[in-house]
Structure 1
Amino acid sequence: MGDDSHSWTAEPGAAERARSVLAVAWSCAVTAQSAREELVGAHTVTDDGRVLLDVPEDSALLATAICAPRGEPSAVLEFADVAPVPVRQRVRARLWLAGWLAPEGGRLSFRATRVVLRQPSAAVVVDLDDFAAARPDPLAAAEARLLTHLADCHADAVERLTRLVGPDSLHGAVRIQPLAVDRHGLTLRIERARAHGDVRLPFHAPADTVAQLTERMHVLLGQASAASCPRALQRQRADRDR
């Protein structure tokens, strides 16, 4: 469905995806030497990708950073990207940052020396310069609201979009939910009785705002309306109506 003449890609790159996970994750696990803590709503991210952690004064992490015998202690930060819509295996990606902690103005500052993004397809080591220069997907902050609205209020539109999915991918489907959306496209999760798969529907052009996303979705729905209903779904409807 994509056009090779476009200068954009049909899905976000690893660095952009990593920065998006980092930007919207609400919690993270931090391990530094023998200390490990789960932090909730305690991190912010600078433009260059440094992570600033707000920790309690009695935090073992803070004590570790202050008392490290050779200066900055090594640490690992772990983040999970969880689908906002209830689906099987809701964790869409995991992000690991290895690097160094240092006290900074009553907080901990973390500088990554290694970034690893694991998605269902594979784990990727993200280039540090790319990571520092990347920005989160412009729709990342609105994604949860957009997907839950689509799933809860527009199930008919989700079903119509399946007309753009190949019949092999729909074979045995028992439920289809919107899994992810970014500036490049929409991903559907197709669940079967004992398995599942994901199908991506790329936009004809990237969407940098919610208004642009609305237009891109209307284009996809228009394409879907012009397509025939997949036979797999026709059989499901027939079985359901019996």
Structure 2
Amino acid sequence: MGDTQEWTAAPGAAQRARSVLATAWSCAVTADGAREEYAGAHTVTGAGEVRLTVPEDSALFAAALRAPRQEPPALLEFADVAPVPVRSRIRARLWLSGPLLRCGDALLLRPARVVLRQSSGSVVVDLDEFTAARPDPLAEAEPRLLTHLADAHPDAVERLTRLVRPESLHAATRVAPLAVDRHGLTLRVERARAHGDVRLPFHAPADDVAQLTERVHVLLTQAGAACPRALQRQRADGDR
């Protein structure tokens, strides 16, 4: 499943965790033996605390009332799902654990432990770094950007494979945009029974959509000057 392309210029674990937290629409909450799932029920403070708005008859409220000092330990789980349909669509999972405080008609979790799991493995995120970090500036726009690239510009995606090492395209049946952040674009290379990811770093970080557009155009220019890779040759042979 691993790729053979070198990974460079990627977001740190703390920023990646804050990006997952900022863009996740749903979460699962476990407290005092009760597990509930919510959609559109959480917001995030600047320090990375999670505020949950749940029904008053929720098992979580009951747990908060039963616990000493009304601070039961809780575990929140978030999933980062690729906006473009690909195999193994969950790109990362994020777990936050800490005391669950009743705050008016809502519940507030103050993270005491943060764990991020990606394809490269799991890491415990430093709490000070997590608190100080901010989401990637492109995180909110990423779903729209990737779906537009995949749906409206498949020719551009195919051209970008010219920047991928030939061995990473061996037996490839499909290539799709998997992720984008201020540092680079990641492509998912799918094969009949496996897949891998390759990262195309930008020449400089992009802090907004306008800068991202310029960075992608630079990659496309570089790709235009490169030799066609295996994927283009396979497609060309198939059209004959």
Matched-pair identity in %: 76
Give the structure 2 partner of residue 12 of structure 1: 11
SS at the partner of 1:112? coil
Between the aligned partners of 2:73 and 2:235, the Cα distance in structure 1 is 56
Give the structure 2 partner of residue 77 of structure 1: 76
Between the aligned partners of 1:200 and 1:66, the Cα distance in structure 2 is 48
Between the aligned partners of 2:225 and 2:104, the Cα distance in structure 1 is 59
Between the aligned partners of 2:199 and 2:236, the Cα distance in structure 1 is 26
Between the aligned partners of 2:185 and 2:20, the Cα distance in structure 1 is 17
Q: Amino acid of the residue matched to residue 46 of structure 1?
A: T
SS at the partner of 2:215? helix
Between the aligned partners of 1:21 and 1:42, the Cα distance in structure 2 is 15
TM-score by length of 2: 0.95
Whether contact under 8 Å (2:158, 2:232) holds in the other structure is: no
> How much has 1:238 moved relative to structure 2?
3.4
> How much has 1:35 moved relative to structure 2?
1.3
Between the aligned partners of 1:113 and 1:43, the Cα distance in structure 2 is 18
Between the aligned partners of 1:217 and 1:141, the Cα distance in structure 2 is 18
SS at the partner of 2:68? coil
> How much has 1:70 moved relative to structure 2?
4.7
- Give matches, 1:37-76, under 5 Å: 37-76=36-75
Give the structure 1 partner of residue 138 of structure 2: 139
Give the structure 2 partner of residue 210 of structure 1: 209
Give the structure 1 partner of residue 113 of structure 2: 114
Between the aligned partners of 2:186 and 2:161, the Cα distance in structure 1 is 11
Q: Amino acid of the residue matched to residue 15 of structure 2?
A: E
> How much has 1:183 moved relative to structure 2?
0.5
Q: Amino acid of the residue matched to residue 178 of structure 1?
A: P
Between the aligned partners of 1:209 and 1:122, the Cα distance in structure 2 is 29
Query: Mind listing any 5+ residue stretches in structure 1 that lack a counterpart?
Result: 1-8
Q: Amino acid of the residue matched to residue 233 of structure 1?
A: L
Q: Amino acid of the residue matched to residue 175 of structure 1?
A: R
Query: Mind listing any 5+ residue stretches in structure 2 that lack a counterpart?
Result: 1-7
Q: How large is the Cα RMSD of the aligned pairs?
A: 1.0
CA-to-aligned-CA distance 1:153-186 (integer Å, 9 cap, x gap) = 0000000000000000011000000000000000
Q: Could you list the runs of 4 or more consecutive aligned residues of structure 1 that deviate by over 2 angstroms after TM superposition?
A: none
Between the aligned partners of 1:234 and 1:208, the Cα distance in structure 2 is 32
Give the structure 1 partner of residue 126 of structure 2: 127
